[in-house]
Structure 1
Amino acid sequence: MSIPASFKAAVVPEPHAQHNIVDRSLQPLQPTHVAIKITATAINPVDWKIRDYNVFIKEYPAVLGSDAAGEVVAVGSDVTTHQVGDRVFFQGIIGNYDASTFQQYCTMPAELVSQTPSSVTDDQAAGISLATVAVVTGFYDQTGHGITPPWAPNGSSAGKGQAIAIIGGSSSVGQYAIQLARLSGFERIITNASAAHHEFLKGLGAHVVLDRKTATAEEFKAASGDLPLRYVFDAISSPETQKFGVEIAEASQVAQKVIVVQNANEDAKNLGDSKSPKVEVKMILGLGSLPALRHLAEPMVQALGGENGWIAKGLFVPNRVRVIDGGIGAVEAALKLNKDGVSGEKVVFRPNA
C-alpha cells in the first residue's frame, strides 16, 4: 500500500458553499506522521457549523471533517508505534487540510492515532475520538473540572464518594461522559434523556437517568443522595441546557462550575453570576492536537485503543452508528442528517466506498 498521487476529497469551494468533489494530493509525509486511507468518517455538529458560519477556515477551497477511522498506508521514518496495514481511529486536525477527514486519504501525527481493536468496526471507531476528547478536556484538563484522569495513578478512584451531573446523556458526547465518569469511579452518575434511552444509558454506567423534558435541578440533587454533587457537565450546551446546568449547580450546594462544549451563553453566565456563591459557565475547546492538550490526548489514545485497551476490554463502548451510503459524495446528506437531528446515533459515511 502507498499514498496515491491524487484522490477524491469533498471541499468547500467558497464561504458558506456546499461541498464539491475534487481531486487533491497530500504533502510529503513527515517523519513523525502516518498516512491513512480513510474508511469511515463521522459527522459532528462542528462540521456543518464551520461551513455555515465560516469559522476556523483560513483559506479556500477548504477540507473539513475531524473524526475518522481507516488503515495505515505509510509511516514516517521515525514512527515505531504503527505499521502499514494497521486499523486506526483518530481526531483529525481542524484547519489542517492534510489532517482533515472529508477525503479519501490524510496524514496524522502518529502519537494522536489509536489502534482499532478487532472487537469494533471502522464505522463504530470513526465516531469515538472527537467527542471523547471533548469529555476528556472537560473532565480532566485544568480548563475544565481538573479531575485526575483514570489512566493516571489513583485516577480510577477520583470520583469516589462523589456524584456528577451530565446533561444530555444520550448525545454522542453524553454517552462518552457517562463512561468516563464510570471509569473515574464516580459513585453516582446522574443524567437525563428521553425514556427510550434510559436502559441503554444505565448499561453504560449511569446510576440515575431522569426524563429529558421534565427533570428539575432539585431532582438531580435528590438523585445524588447523601453524596456531594460537585461536578456539572453539559454535553448539549444549548442556551437552555446551560441555564439548567447553573440551576443544578445551585441546587447541589457545592458545585461552582458548569462545563460546556459550545460558546458560553451570556444569559447563562449572567444567571450564574447572580447566584451566591457564583456559578461559572465555562467553555472548553476539545482539540487534542493543541500542544496544551497533548498531556491528555496522547495517553487517551493509548488507553482507548489496541487489543488491551478500554474498548477491547468492553470498558468503553462506541456510539451506535447510522451509515449513509454513497461514498465521498454522501457528505452533504450526512451533514444534513446531523444538522436536522439524530437521537443516540453517530452519522457516518465511507469516503472510499
Structure 2
Amino acid sequence: MDIGRSHPERTPRTAPASRPARPTRPARTTPARTAAALLAATLTAALLAGCATTPRAGADDAVNGSVKPRTHTGPVLAVKIDNAPAARPHTGLDAADVVYVEPVEGGLSRLMAVYATRLPPVIGPVRSARQSDLELLRQFDRPVLAFSGAQRKLHPLIDKAPLRAIEPGEVSGAYYRGRSKPAPHNLYLRPGRLVRSAPGAAALDATGFRFGPAPSGGRAAGSRTVRYPAARFTFTWSAGRGRWLVAMDGRAARKAAPATVVVQYVKVRKSRFHDRLGNHTPYTRTVGSGRATVLRGGRAYDVVWQRPRAGEGTRFTTRDGRPVNFARGQVWVVFARAS
C-alpha cells in the first residue's frame, strides 16, 4: 500500500512494538562516580569517532554487515519510482547512475533508479516493490531499498533479503507528499535522510558494467523503441548532446538522457503474487543468459548477457566473448520479454 491510500494487496510492514522503559531510581552522585562517568564517556566518544562509517548494531547488522571487502564508502541507494503517466515528470531521475525499466501488472512499467555517485535533494514519485527487485539487487553489497508498500505475502521475502528496506514512516522526515500530483503519485523521498552520502563510482563495479572506448562494428541507429503491452519507450540519439533522449508513451521525458541504453531480453513469467484485480505480477528473471542490444554513440551492438548467480553482476560480451564497453554516464537497462 502506498502511504495515505488504502490498498488490500500492498501493505506496509508492521513495525514491532517497542517495550516501555522501566523507571529507575536516580543514582547518588559522588566524586569518584563522576570521574568514572567522565572517563567512560571519553572512551565511548573515541570509539564512536573511530567507527563513524560502521553501521549501527542490531537490525542493520544483517543489512550492512561486512560479507565481502568493500572498496567504497557505503551502500548504493535503490528507489522504486512510479512510471504511470500521472506520475510524470519524475524528480531526481537524471542523477541516477543506473535506471532499470521493469514490466509490472497490466502491461505497465516501473523504474528502479540506483544512486552511487551523487544524491539529488528529492527523488520520486516513489511506489511499491516487486519480487523481481530482490533478485536484481542481490548484485549489490547490502543496498538500501526505498519503496512504498508491497504485497502482504512479499514482506517476509523482503525482510529476509540482504538489503535494508525502508518504507514511509520508518525514518522521520524521509518521505513526504507533494502537492503537484494526486495520490498515490505524489510520494517523494529525501535521500539524505536514508544514506549519509553517495558511496562513489566503485560501488557500481558490482553491476558488471564496463566503461571505455566503443566496440568495433555495430550498425547506425538513430532511434530504438521498446514496447510493453501498455507502455512504450523510445530512445533517440542526439549527436549534439552525445546522449539518448527518452520518450515515454510518445512524450519526451524531461532531463532523461542516458549515455548508454541496454535492451536486455529476459524470461518473464507469472509470479505467485497478484494485484487486487487478479492480475499476476510478472517475475523478471535477471539471472541466466540471453541476448541484448547495446545502444551507444548512435550505434547499436548485438551482444550476449550473462549473470550466472544472483550475487554477481551482468557481463555483456560480443558473440565471440569480447567484453563490450559502455559510454561513461547514465545507463538505462530496459528488460524486454525474450521471444
| TM-score, normalization by structure 2 | 0.23
| TM-score, normalization by structure 1 | 0.22
Normalized per residue, the structure richer in strand is 2
Normalized per residue, the structure richer in helix is 1
